[in-house]
Amino acid sequence: MQSFNVDLHIHSPYSISVSKNMTIPYLVTGSESKGIDILGTGDATQPDWLGHLKRTLVKKNDKLTYKNTTFVLTVEIEDMESIHHLVLLPSFESVENLRTSLCNSSPNIDSRWGGRPRVNLSAEEIAGFVRDVGGIIGPAHAFTPFRAIFREGKYDSITDCYQSEAPHIHFIELGLSADSKIADYIPELRKLTYITSSDAHSPSPDKLGREFIRFEMESPTFEELKLAIIREKGRRPTLNIGLHPKLGKYYLSFCSKCRRTLVVKKDDAHPTSDEVNIYISSSSEADLARLLSDIHKRQVNCPVDGKPLRLGVRDRVKMLGEVTSKTPSHRPLYLHIPPLLDMIVPAIGVKSKSTKSARTLYQKMMALFGSEIDILTNTSISDIEKVNSRVSKMIDAYRQDEVGYVPGGGGRYGTLIAPWNSE
C-alpha cells in the first residue's frame, strides 16, 4: 500500500468568485509545492471546464494525470433544497451520462457560471443518478449554517436527506468549521468516512490543500479511492489535516444581522455586547441546552439590533448529537494545522500573506525542506529553527496541539494566538 495526500473539493474559473488561474497547469504547480498527490477537478459538469479537462488531462492506467498529479473528476451540486453535495465520478463518460440525467432539471448546468450547478431535484434523486453512473456522493461542508445538510431548518440526519439512497452514502465533507471530534458527537455519522478538503477558489498556497485527507491504497485511481472511502480491502483513510474549527467562519453562533458572535458566560449577568461579541449567561448545562433550543426557535435576540441569533457549527452539533463525542476505531487522527503562510505572517510580524518578506521566507523554506506538507508534518523543528525560530515555535505548537485561538463565527474567520503571546 502507498499513502496519497488528497484534496477532493475545489472550483474552476467557471464558478463565481474563482481565480482565473484555477487551470490545470497552475493547479498542478500548486499541488506539487503543497504536496498534494490527488486533486479533485471541481466543476466537471460545466461544458467549458469539461472541455479543458479533456484536452489537458492524460489518461493512463485508469488515471487522469498532468505531470505528476492525478485528478479525480468531481463536482459540487446544489439540490432543490439548496443543499450542496460533493460528487466523485470515475470517467468522462460518467460525467457525460450524469449531465444527460441532470440537464432537464438544471437551469444553469450549461451556463458560463454553472460550475456548481443548481438542480431542481431532491438529494435522493441526485444520489440515485450518481450511483447509476458509478459515482459516489456525500454532503459538502456538512455543518455550515448555509447551503448544508445540517443547517437549521433542514435535516437532522443523513437518512432524512437522502431517503432510500442513505445506505449508499459513505462520506461527509466536514468543512472548515468542523473536525472529526465535532462530527462524532452525532452517532449516525460515526460509521462514515470524514473528508477534509480545501474548497479552494485559488491555487494560492494558503488556499489549495489547506485541508486534505491522506489515504492508504494501491494506486491513485478512482476505484482505489472509492475503496479507501468505503474502507474495504485494506484501503483506508489514515490522516485528516485541516484548520482547527475555531479558525472557521461559522464555528460560533451569531447574530443574523450584525454578525456578532455568541460567547456564553457561566454567571447570571444580563446580556451585554462589544464590537465583536454578544455575551449571554448560562449557569448550567441544562440552562445552556435551553438557550441553544431557544436560539434554534429564533427566540433569542441580539442585544444590539434586536435580530434573532442563529446557531453556529459547534452549537448546532450540540443540538443534534450526544453529550460526548465518541471516536470509532476506524477514525484516523485529525491534525489541526493551517497553511504555512498563515504561520509565517504572525511569526515575522507582517499584516499580509502577500508581503514580499512573507513570500520570500515561504519560498526559502520550500527550497530547503521540500513540500509544504512535509514542512508542516515531518521536517525537524531544529532544522526549521535554523531558518526562523518563531516559525519553528509555531509549527511545534501546532503539532503538540498547544495553540490558542480567538474563535470565528458569523462569516468572520477565527485567529490564532501565537505561542509567544500566550506565555
Q: What percent of the chain has pLDDT over 70?
A: 100
The pLDDT, as a whole number, for residue 157 is 95
Tell me if 411 is assigned to some domain. no
The domain spanning residue 31 has which CATH number? 3.20.20.140
> Which residues of 53-190 form beta strands (DSSP E)?
58-60, 63-66, 69-78, 84-89, 136-139, 171-173
Closest among 306, 248, 302 to 278, alpha carbons compared: 302
Question: Shortest CA distance to 393 belongs to which of 367, 417, 357?
Answer: 417
Mean pLDDT (the chain) is 93
185 and 283 together in one domain:
no
Q: Please state whether 313 falls in left (phi above 0), alpha (psi between -120 and 50) or beta.
A: alpha
Q: Does residue 408 fall inside a structural domain? A: no
Q: What is the pLDDT of residues 17-41, one digit of tens each?
A: 999 999 999 999 999 999 999 999 9
- Domain count across the chain: 3
Q: How confident is the model at residue 422 (pLDDT cuts 50, 70, 90)?
A: low
Query: Would 140 be classed as within a structural domain?
Result: yes
Based on the fold, state whether residues 129 and 17 are members of the same structural domain: yes
**78-107: pLDDT as tens digits:** 999 999 999 999 999 999 999 999 999 999
Number of H helices, E strands in the chain: 14, 19
Residue ranges making up the domain that contains 359: 339-403
Percentage of the chain exceeding pLDDT 90? 78
Residue 184's pLDDT band, with cuts at 50, 70 and 90, is very high
pLDDT in tens, 278-330: 999 888 888 888 899 999 999 999 999 999 999 999 999 988 999 899 999 99
Name the grid cell of 119: 438542480
Condensed to tens digits (0 to 9), the pLDDT of residues 238-261 reads: 999 999 999 989 999 999 899 999
Co-location of 266 and 359 in the same domain: no
pLDDT for 270: 83
- What's the confidence (pLDDT) of residue 423? 52
The per-residue pLDDT for 338 is: 87
